[in-house]
Amino acid sequence: MNIAILLAGGSGSRFGADRPKQFLEVDGCTVLEHSIRAFHRSEQIDEIIIITRQDFVEEVRQMSTLYPKVKHVRPGGKERYHSTLSALEVCTDADDLLLIHDAVRPLVSEAIISRCVDALKSYDAIGVAVPSTDTIVRVDENDCIVETLPRPVLRNMQTPQGFRQGVLKKAFDLGLADPAFAPTDDCGVVRTYLPDVPIKIVKGEVTNIKITYPKDLEMIRTNAQK
């Protein structure tokens, strides 16, 4: 099956709202619901799993009754990777294709979803990204530039990140056995513990933004009305 895993467990502390940003309303429904709808309407997606905070599990379950593709709503944990592990507890078929997506990227398009699924037919791990439009530099401990990185080979990562279940599960099994395990994202886990597995970059879109600050909601509102 092709399974979308929506990670909705963040606290949104930088956002400054009373509720986590995935539960703020935009045009009559929550940011999370916009993300659910994006995957629910895709013919490429068979099932949706939502990982959220323990104190929001029941609210998300009630919300999800409108979307039959949502099969599981589960609590995550303290770190982001705990949410992936929670999803892997119910994704047990090694051949399943998993698309792991930040719920606060509600403008993910059908085109991105389709490109991800298509790429997973040839690769066991993929990431969505767009070319960097800024000059990226490396600095020393004094914040002085020591290197200007070549922009043509740089990408800004987005989500979804996609994996064949068996590959992601193996990478996490190896990682969890490592006392120095400190993952930042799922592609990083595969790259560190299964370095022979190529991770294909799939074309993203500049509108596939991650809501970080209140001003980002206006872009969501504008695009949701199109």
Break the chain into its structural domains and give their ranges: 2-224
The SS3 assignment for 159 reads strand
Query: What is d(CA 32, CA 21) in angstroms, rounded to the nearest whole number?
Result: 9
Q: Which has the closest alpha carbon to 149: 137, 134, 132, 141?
A: 137
- Are residues 3 and 90 in contact, defined by beta-carbon separation less than 8 angstroms? no
Q: Which distant-in-sequence residues (6+ apart) come within 8 Å of 15 by Cβ?
A: 21, 211, 212, 213, 214
pLDDT of residue 155: 95
pLDDT at residue 217, rounded to an integer: 83
pTM of the model: 0.93
Please give the biggest Cα pair distance in the chain: 54
pLDDT for res 162: 98
Q: Can you say whether the dihedral through the CA atoms of 216, 158, 135, 142 is positive or negative? A: positive
Distances from the Cα of 212 to the Cαs of 55, 102, 105, 217, 226, in angstroms?
A: 21, 12, 10, 9, 22
Structure tokens belonging to residue 217: 């909601």
List the CATH code of the domain at 2-224: 3.90.550.10
pLDDT beneath 70: ranges in the chain: 11-17, 224-226
Q: Residue 96 has what pLDDT?
A: 97
Structure tokens at 64: 């999800």
